[in-house]
Structure 1
Amino acid sequence: KVGASCALCHTVTDQSVFNLPNGGSIGRRLDGLATHTINIGAIFAMADNSRALYPVLQLSLKANKDKTIGRAPKGLTEKSSEKEVDAYLSNPAFYPVGMFDDSFDGNGDPMHNTPLFRQDLAFPYGSEGAIAKLDNFSNLVYTGLFDQTTLTTPGGRAFLHKLGGAAGDEIADDYVKILKETGVKNYPFVKAAPHPAPGTEEAPLGVRVDNTKLADMNAYLFSLEAPAGTDGNAPAVARGRELFRSVGCTACHNVDQSKLVPGFVVPMKTIFPGDNPVVLAPREPPLNPVVDTPGNIFDDKMIIVNATLRGEVRGTALPLLLDLARKPVFLHDNSVPTLDNLLNPARGATAPHPFYLSDTAQRADMVEFLRSLDTGSSNQRRQAATKPQSQSSGVFTLGGFFIFSAGMVWLKLKRTTG
C-alpha cells in the first residue's frame, strides 16, 4: 500500500541531485510548490480499486437523464468496470497531467494543481472561492476528499443532496453499492468527531477533525515561503510593472504580492464573457441553480461547487501571482499554454480572462514582470534562492509538517509482472 498526502500534489524538490526534463526529480524537499507535471489520473489508475474513487469521477447519472459533463464523451456509471475507470483516469485527454479533480460532484472537472505556500496571503480558498477559512478548507479535504466514504454517512449524504438533489442522492447510493461489491468495509476511515453545526462551512459533512491539527496545518502553510521570482531583464520588468498599474490589472490584482489577495469572487460573466449558461436543475438559496455553458470546460468546476455556498456569486477566486515562471499552463482548466498567450487578443473577446495587450513588445514586458513577482525585493530573492527552506519554526509548524507529510489515504497498488 502507498499513502497519499498533501505532499503528493504540493511538494517538489530543488532538483539538486537528479532532474528529468519532463518532470520528476530528486533533491531537497520544497513543500508548498505545485507539482505541474504529476499524472494524478495515471497514479489513481494504478490502485487496486479505482472504482472506489466514484464520487470524483466523470459520471453519467440517471437523475441527470444519463447526461455527462467533462472532457470524456461518455460518463462512468456504478456498473463501470475497473478497466473502464482506469481507462478514464489514465487518459490525459480526459484527466490531464498536472490536474486533480477535487469535487465530489459527478462531473469531470479536474483543475490544475495550485501552490500551498503563503496561505496567509490567500482568500478565499478553492479556485471557485467556496470556503472562507483555511482550517475549514483543510477539514473538508481530510473528511471528504481524503476519505470519500464519509459521503455515505448521514452528514455526507445531506451535503451531497444539498449540492445536487436527486443526483447527489444517486451518487451516495451508487457509492455504497460499489464499496460493497469491491469489499471495502469498516468505513469511514478518517477519525473525526460529530460537529454541533452539521452542513456549515465548519463541518460540511457533519464531522470535524481535531482543531489542534487544523491549527497546526494553518501555521505550517502560512510559514511556507514563496519561491523567488526570476531576475529577468530589469528594464523590461520595470516597464511591465508600469503597464500592470496602467492597463487595469490592479482592478483585481495587487502589484505587491506580499499583501493579502483581494478577497472578492470575480463573477463568471466578468472572467468569462462567453459564459451563456443553461439551467440544469434548481437548488435552494443561497445556492445558485445548477447551470452550465455547453461546449466550454472553463465553468465546469463551478457548476455544482461554487461560492454561492457562502452567499457569494458564482465565479472564480483571485490567485496568488507567485511562482509563475514554473507554470507550464495557465487558468484552472489548463486552457492557456503560456503567459504571452494569456495576454494575446487572438484568444478572442469572449474567452476566459479576456484582458489583453495587443502590442507584442508590451506583452513581453508584462510577461517579464509577472515572472519576476515574489513576496520580497530582488535582494531578498537572491538570498531566498540560496537559503535552505525551514521545515519548522515552532510547535504548530512542526505539527503541520507531519500532517502535511503523513499518508491520509491508502491506495493498494495493482500487482504487475515483468
Structure 2
Amino acid sequence: PNGGSIGRQQDGRAPHTLDFGSLVALGTNSRAYYPTLQLALTANGGNTLGRAPTGLTENSTEAQVDAYLTNKSFYPVGMFDDTVDGNGDPMHNMPLFRQDLAFPYGSEGAIAKLDNFSNLVYTGLFDPTNLTTPGGRAFLHTLGGAAGDEIADDYVKVLKDTKVKGYPYVKGSTTGMAGKEETLLGIRVDDKKLLDLNAYLASLQAPAGVRGDSMAITKGREGFRAEGCATCHNVSQSRPVPTFIVPMKTIFPGDNPATLAQRMPPLNPVLDTGGNIFDDKMAIVNASIRGDIRGTAMPLLLDLARKPVFLHDNTVATLEMLFDPMRGTSAPHPFFISDRDERSNIIAFLRSLDTN
C-alpha cells in the first residue's frame, strides 16, 4: 500500500515511501557507502553531527552500519543523504519533474546548473569511490580540511578491508579543476548525455493539483497573497522559482550556530546549531560553495497533496502543522496563519497547485 513499483512508470515524482537506508543495508557491503554515513572523525575530536547519538568509523562492522541505515529514527523512510561530508543529514526526497522551473539545485542551493548537479550525482553518489582520486580528495579537503582528508583516507581503508577493487567505476569524459562546479570531483561525464537529461527532466510534468472546494481555493489564493507568502513564493507555479537563497536566520529564527571549523572563502565557516537537525544539511555543503550564503533554496510548490511530511528534515507532519503558530516563533519556517479558516483555505489552495 502507498508504495511499490507495479504499474505505469511515473518518472519525476518524489518517492516518499522509498526506504533508501534499508535498500543500501540489503547489500553485502554497506560499508562501501562510507562517505555518506554519519561518521565520528578524529579530526573533529570524535564528535558527530546527525540524528544518531554516535557516529560510525572506518572500523565499524557491516552490522553496525546496517543498524544505522535501518534505524528509522536515524535514516527515515523517504529520505536520502546526498552529501559526502560525513554528517548524518538525510533530507526528504525531492521531485525531479519540471526542473526547468527549479533553481538552484539541492535544498541548500549549492549547485547553480542542473547538468552540474547531475554530474555530481553520477561521479560522487553513484560512485563515491571517485572521492579517493586526486580530484575527489581535493574536493573533500576544500569542504572539510583535515576532516575531509580523513574521510578519503578512511574510505580507502574501508574499500581495502571489504575487498573492493578496480575503482573508480564511473569514468569522466573530460577532466577539470576539482571544486569547480562543472567538475567538482575533477571529472565530468559525457556532456551531451547530461544536457539530454536536462531536457528530459524539464519535460516531466508535475501531477495535477487536487481540485477541491473552488471557493476555498479562491479564498486561499487571496490569503496566500495577504499573508505575505508571495514575498518568497510564486502564486503561479508555471513560473520559475525565485532564485535567491533564504538566509538561515530567516527560515530558522532559532539558528544560533557554533563555529565548528574555519574554511577558506568563499566557503563560510562550518556552522551548526546544537540540539536541532534543521541546519545539519547546510553545515558543510551549502550555497557558499558558489559564493552565496548558508540557507535554503526555494522549493517547487507542486504535488503537495501527495507529500506526507514537510520541510527537508521531515520534522513537520502536515501542512496544518506547518502553518500552526503552536510550533513557536523560533521554529523552522516560522510563517504562521492564526485563523483556522484562513489556514484551511490556504492549504486547499496549495494542494490545488500545478503548472496549468
Structures share fold, TM-score greater than 0.5: yes
Name 2:112's counterpart in structure 1: 132
Name 1:89's counterpart in structure 2: 69
SS of residue in 2 equivalent to 1:280: strand
Pick the aligned partner of 2:53 from 73, 77, 91. Answer: 73
> Which ranges in structure 1 are unaligned for 5 or more consecutive residues?
1-19, 377-418
TM-superposed CA distance for 1:166, in Å, is 0.3
Name 2:256's counterpart in structure 1: 276
Give the percent of matched residue pairs that are identical in Structure 1 and Structure 2: 70
Name 2:155's counterpart in structure 1: 175
Aligned counterparts of 2:297 and 2:150: Cα–Cα separation in 1: 30
TM-superposed CA distance for 1:327, in Å, is 0.3
TM-superposed CA distance for 1:194, in Å, is 4.1
Q: Which amino acid aligns with 1:214?
A: L
Q: Which amino acid aligns with 1:366?
A: I
TM-superposed CA distance for 1:38, in Å, is 1.1
Equivalent residues in 2 for 1:40-119, closer than 5 Å? 40-119=20-99
Superposition TM-score, scaled by structure 1 size = 0.84
> Which ranges in structure 2 are unaligned for 5 or more consecutive residues?
none
Pick the aligned partner of 2:222 from 234, 242, 253. Answer: 242
Q: Which amino acid aligns with 1:46?
A: L
SS of residue in 2 equivalent to 1:172: helix
Name 1:319's counterpart in structure 2: 299
Q: Which amino acid aligns with 2:315?
A: S
SS of residue in 1 equivalent to 2:22: helix
TM-superposed CA distance for 1:197, in Å, is 3.1
Pick the aligned partner of 1:212 from 180, 184, 192. Answer: 192
Aligned counterparts of 1:336 and 1:139: Cα–Cα separation in 2: 31
SS of residue in 2 equivalent to 1:29: coil
Name 2:288's counterpart in structure 1: 308
TM-superposed CA distance for 1:198, in Å, is 3.0
Name 1:293's counterpart in structure 2: 273
Change (3 A) 1:124 1:202: same
User: RCO higher in 1 or 2 (8 Å CA, sep ≥ 6)?
Assistant: 1
1:340 and 2:320 matched: yes
Name 1:160's counterpart in structure 2: 140
Pick the aligned partner of 2:338 from 350, 354, 358. Answer: 358
Give CA deviations for 1:27-71 in whole Å, capped at 9, x if unaligned. 111100011011110111111100000000000000000001111
SS of residue in 2 equivalent to 1:31: coil
Give CA deviations for 1:166-213 in whole Å, capped at 9, x if unaligned. 000000000000001101011000021342333200001000000011
Aligned counterparts of 1:119 and 1:222: Cα–Cα separation in 2: 5
TM-superposed CA distance for 1:112, in Å, is 0.2
Name 1:196's counterpart in structure 2: 176
Superposition TM-score, scaled by structure 2 size = 0.99
Q: Is the 8 A contact 2:260 2:272 kept in 1?
A: yes
Q: Which amino acid aligns with 2:108?
A: E
TM-superposed CA distance for 1:322, in Å, is 0.1
Q: Which amino acid aligns with 2:312?
A: H
Name 1:382's counterpart in structure 2: none
TM-superposed CA distance for 1:25, in Å, is 4.8
Aligned counterparts of 1:89 and 1:195: Cα–Cα separation in 2: 33
Q: Which amino acid aligns with 2:136?
A: G
